[in-house]
Amino acid sequence: MTDSSSPTDPEVAKPVYKRVLLKISGEALMGGQQYGIEMDTAERVAREVSAAVTSGVEVCLVIGGGNIFRGLSAAAKGMDRAAADYMGMLATVMNALAMQTALERIGVPTRVQSAIPMTTICEPYIRRRAIRHMEKGRVVIFAAGTGNPFFTTDTAAALRAAEMGCDALFKGTQVDGVYSDDPRKNPDAERYDTLDYLEVLARDLKVMDAAAVTLMRENAIPIVVFNIHDKGGLARVLAGQGRATVIGKRPELPAG
C-alpha cells in the first residue's frame, strides 16, 4: 500500500524547501493517552518524516517534552525553576530516542544529538557533524533544548534552524494553522493564511514564544504552521500546497 504522502503520488509536487527543521510538541506523541509515548502515533509521524526524506528534503527535528514533564508547570508548584527545566530537557531526550526508534524501524537512518552530553545513549550536539549527517540523508533529532534552563524547546528549535541554515521551520501542531484563538474552543476564531513576524508578536498569537519568533525574523527564516496529524500533510506543505499558515515569506513555486 502506498502512503498518501509518498513522493510518487502525482498529486504531490516536488518540495520547494531543501532543508527544514520540524518542531513538534511532546503531546503530539501521546496519541489517545493522557501522558507518555504511544508508539503507533510516533510511527505515524515517522512515516511523514520518511516521505519528506525520500523526496530529497534534509530534515532535522526538535521534540518537546510536555508529554512526560513540564518544567514551567513544576516550577509554578514550587520546584526550583532551573532544576525543573533540566528535568524537562531529559524528557525531550526520551522522546528523541523514541522517535529515533520509530524512524529506524521503517528504514530511516537517524541520529540523536543532545545539548547535554550523555554519550552512552546519543551524540553530543556538534553543528558541523549534524549538517554532515543531513547531507548524507540522515535525520537528526536535537534533544535537551539549548542545554540551558529558562529557554523553551521553541527557542531551541529556532536556534537549531538558524545554525543548520534551514530554509524554514515547520511547526507541527494540533490544528491546521494559526488562529486568533483556540479553534477547538472558539468556533469563531479567525484563521490566518499568512502573517508577518511582527504581527505574531503584536497580536500575542502564542504560536511560538517571542524569543523564537524574533530569532526567525532576524534570520529571515519562515515559520510554517500545519497540522501534524493530517496524513500526508507534511509532504503537501513542503511542496507549498498544503493547508498551513506561513509566518514570513512563502517561497516561490517553480514555474510551470
According to the annotation, is 174 in a ligand binding site? yes
Q: Give the integer Cα–Cα distance in Å for 29 and 94.
A: 11
Number of H helices, E strands in the chain: 8, 11
Q: Which residues contact residue 24 at a Cβ distance below 8 angstroms, ignoring those fewer than 6 apart? A: 45, 61, 62, 63, 64, 171, 172, 228
According to the annotation, is 54 in a ligand binding site? no
According to the annotation, is 155 in a ligand binding site? no
According to the annotation, is 185 in a ligand binding site? no
According to the annotation, is 149 in a ligand binding site? yes
According to the annotation, is 153 in a ligand binding site? yes
According to the annotation, is 152 in a ligand binding site? yes
Q: Give the integer Cα–Cα distance in Å for 229 and 224.
A: 15
According to the annotation, is 41 in a ligand binding site? no
According to the annotation, is 24 in a ligand binding site? yes
According to the annotation, is 25 in a ligand binding site? yes
According to the annotation, is 145 in a ligand binding site? no
According to the annotation, is 226 in a ligand binding site? no
The pair phi, psi for residue 134, each rounded to 5°, is -65, -40
According to the annotation, is 137 in a ligand binding site? no
According to the annotation, is 148 in a ligand binding site? yes
According to the annotation, is 147 in a ligand binding site? yes
CB neighbourhood size of 64 (10 A): 24
Q: Which residues are annotated as a binding site?
A: 23-26, 65-66, 70, 85, 146-153, 173-174, 179, 182
Q: Which residues are annotated as a binding site for ATP?
A: 23-26, 66, 70, 173-174, 179, 182
Q: Which residues are annotated as a binding site for UMP?
A: 65, 85, 146-153
